[in-house]
Amino acid sequence: MAEVKTSDRRTENVDDVLAIKAVDVRIRRGTAWGGRDGREIVHGVSFEVERGTVTGLLGPSGCGKTTLMRAIVGIQRGVSGDLRVLGRGPCERELHRRVGYATQTASVYSDLTVTENLRYFTALSAQQGALSPQEVIRGAERAAARVSLSAEMHTQVGRLSGGQRGRVSLAAAIIGGRELLVLDEPTVGLDPVLRRELWDGFHQLADQGLTLLISSHVMDEASRCDRLLLLREGRLIADETPESLLEITGAADLDHAFLCLVEPRRAPRQTPPPPAERAQDLSRATTDCADPPETADPLKTANPPETAGSPGTSRSAAAPQQCDDRGLRLNLPRTTVTALRVLRQMRRDPRTILLVLVLPPALLVLLQAIFAQSPTAFDRAGAGLLGVFPLMTMFFLTSVAMLRERRSGTLERLMTTPIGRGDLLTGYGVAFGLLAVAQAAITTTTAVALLHLAIAGPLVMLGLLAVLSALFGTALGLLTSAFANSEFQAVQFLPPVLLPQFLLCGILVPHDQLHPVLGVVSMLMPMTYVVDALSRISTRPGVSMMVVRDALVIAGCAVVALALAAGTLRRQTP
Ligand SMILES: Nc1ncnc2c1ncn2[C@@H]1O[C@H](COP(=O)(O)OP(=O)(O)OP(=O)(O)O)[C@@H](O)[C@H]1O
């Protein structure tokens, strides 16, 4: 990252005063891994946001407001230049305890109630260790009250109106934003009374020392900001107070001033003037808007001379930042609340749970019926399927669940909270692991007690292998979800990832009857080890070294898949 050459002492003072300092910040989008490809969306903007103020970020649709906000909260790739947030680089994890971010769409869990959502985000926001249950309850209630949602606390978010959902999302941001709140169009879809209430609330927060950066399209909101940043096509064209913006443009109101700056040559009037005045007014509009006087050139105002040419901020020096959040250290309270949250979501979807628990034993019953004339074939295939079914169902469930998290924007929000990737994935692993245990218990019991599947080895080991296999399916599902952009694509991954494994794992054709090349390929497939281990348990008493080896291979594959999933979790919108 390019550094501004200031003494440490001065930087310290500046950071005490400024919440955000941007010098020649450029952002490229359309690059998946932070390289120099893609399109430059933000072209070298420089500005400062003082602490304890409300700053409006305005500009036409597509000008780069969201992109800039994403850079400020540390989830945008391809950012170069010098961007300091609360005196730190925007990617530093320490900021996740101090900065709250509300995305444009309501990024909260629609299958949970308002209380459940807000308690979850409150629990995640703990500075250190865990908050007491009372603190979590109080934090959630306070946040709901801030956005006038106390009456809806026990309503499922999916049953709220669009505006109410947006307010839940805003409350979640307020919970996380101890020092800085970055709000992307937080008042969209709200009626004027609520908008006014929220803006009063924003100013109360600012009076308490919080800094707010708020994007908006509504000009009466702009007039409530202490300062306005105006973006046009990724360039900052004004950085002014609302009053001086009116003065510079000579416009009667901010709506007009905005249009003057954004479309200088097509500045409209609010009401059509009488024909006699038209010529005179047009010439005034040209003077005021089309060609603003040199001294009032908003482009010059927006980029103060001392920063515009700061040493070390030249284009060549500005390499894209890479967010360094590779830490996978586990935080037990955050992992636990995440597992509980996922379990709560599962509880809201009884049909899926029923399917997960009932489908594998039902398939085994069908299999026994098919092999009614050949019980040995059922014994051979049945044991292997005790591991294959959980693997497949967990793969599918978790890939869709994580994809939903990614698409609903909640993953993006989580990436701006103190939760680590390890906490999140382990939370998912624990929740789905518990489901896997239930599934393994039901399927194994059905197979042994009801279908009389012959098992020579210990039943506990059989169940353990089934759970291990389900955990591998969970990790694989979390990993592949990163490469799917829709539920349809997630379903499409099922055949290429699992079908070859199923065909070669030894259930359909024993390994010794496979072509030698296919035999080698099958040994590269984790499902082979699942089926081998289960077949050995079913045919031989005790636990052989080969079973232990197979179990270790499956566990190793699960760990590798989980680590790769953690690596791809931060795959942001490019
Ligand atoms: N994932 C993406 N990959 C590449 N370009 C993108 C991506 N998302 C957005 N863009 C481009 O970035 C530009 C800025 O988008 P951004 O969402 O920041 O605009 P905005 O000012 O917030 O718009 P709006 O007010 O409509 O929300 C747009 O031209 C858009 O096409």
**242-281 tens-digit pLDDT:** 888 888 877 777 888 788 777 755 444 443 344 334 333 3
Do 339 and 431 touch, CB atoms closer than 8 A?
yes
Binned at pLDDT 50, 70 and 90, residue 296 comes out as very low
Residue of 39, 65, 77 to test ligand 1 pocket, by largest number of atoms within 8 Å of CB = 65
3-state helix, strand, coil in the chain (%, to 5): 60, 10, 30
Binned at pLDDT 50, 70 and 90, residue 322 comes out as low
Task: Report the nearest-CA residue for atom 20 of ligand 1.
Answer: 62
Q: 3-state class of 231 per DSSP? A: strand
CA distances from 390 to 243, 245, 394, 491, 527 (A): 64, 63, 6, 16, 11
What spacing in Å lies between the alpha carbon of 25 and ligand 1's midpoint? 16
Task: Report the nearest-CA residue for atom 30 of ligand 1.
Answer: 62
Q: What is the CA radius of gyration of the chain?
A: 29
Domain-by-domain residue ranges, the chain? 8-98+177-306, 332-569
Give every CB contact of residue 70 below 8 A, 6+ residues apart in sequence.
76, 572
Q: Which atom of ligand 1 is nearest to the CA of 574?
A: 1
For residue 431, the model assigns a pLDDT of 92
Q: 478 CB under 6 A from ligand 1?
A: no
Q: 78 CB under 6 A from ligand 1?
A: no
pLDDT at residue 556 tops 50 = yes
What spacing in Å lies between the alpha carbon of 99 and ligand 1's midpoint? 22
pLDDT at residue 319 tops 60 = no
For residue 385, the model assigns a pLDDT of 87
What spacing in Å lies between the alpha carbon of 68 and ligand 1's midpoint? 10
Taking the alpha carbons of 134, 137, 139, 141 in that order, is the dihedral positive or negative? negative
Span 57-61, average pLDDT = 89
The Cα 356–Cα 494 span in angstroms is 16
For residue 245, the model assigns a pLDDT of 83
Of 407 and 157, the one with more pLDDT: 157
Interior CA angle at 194 toward 191 and 199, to 5°? 120
Binned at pLDDT 50, 70 and 90, residue 285 comes out as very low
Do 156 and 112 touch, CB atoms closer than 8 A?
yes
For the chain, the average pLDDT equals 81
Q: 37 CB under 6 A from ligand 1?
A: no
ipTM of the complex as predicted = 0.96
Q: 322 CB under 6 A from ligand 1?
A: no
Q: 76 CB under 6 A from ligand 1?
A: no
Q: 80 CB under 6 A from ligand 1?
A: no
Burial of 519 from C-beta contacts in 10 A (0-12 / 13-18 / 19+): middle
Span 85-89, average pLDDT = 87
For residue 12, the model assigns a pLDDT of 54
Residue of 25, 29, 230 to test ligand 1 pocket, by largest number of atoms within 8 Å of CB = 29
Q: Which atom of ligand 1 is nearest to the CA of 231?
A: 21
For residue 284, the model assigns a pLDDT of 40
pLDDT digits (tens, 9 = 90+) for 428-462: 889 988 988 898 889 888 888 888 888 888 988 88
Taking the alpha carbons of 59, 60, 63, 69 in that order, is the dihedral positive or negative? positive
Q: Among 8, 115, 75, 113, which Cα is nearest to 413's?
A: 75
- Whether the model clears a pTM of 0.90, i.e. scores above it, the answer is no
pLDDT at residue 553 tops 80 = yes
Q: 63 CB under 6 A from ligand 1?
A: yes
Q: How many CB atoms lie within 10 A of CB 352?
A: 15
For residue 310, the model assigns a pLDDT of 39
Do 109 and 345 touch, CB atoms closer than 8 A?
yes
Q: 3-state class of 37 per DSSP? A: coil
Least confident of 53-57, 149-153, 298-302, 459-463: 298-302
Q: 41 CB under 6 A from ligand 1?
A: yes
Q: Which atom of ligand 1 is nearest to the CA of 70?
A: 18
Interior CA angle at 69 toward 68 and 75, to 5°? 95
Say how far residue 354 (Cα) sits from the centre of its chain.
Answer: 28
Q: 58 CB under 6 A from ligand 1?
A: no
For residue 32, the model assigns a pLDDT of 53
For residue 257, the model assigns a pLDDT of 79
User: Domain 8-98+177-306 falls in which CATH fold?
Assistant: Rossmann fold (3.40.50)
Q: 65 CB under 6 A from ligand 1?
A: yes
Task: Report the nearest-CA residue for atom 14 of ligand 1.
Answer: 64
pLDDT at residue 43 tops 80 = yes
Q: 574 CB under 6 A from ligand 1?
A: yes
What spacing in Å lies between the alpha carbon of 184 and ligand 1's midpoint? 13
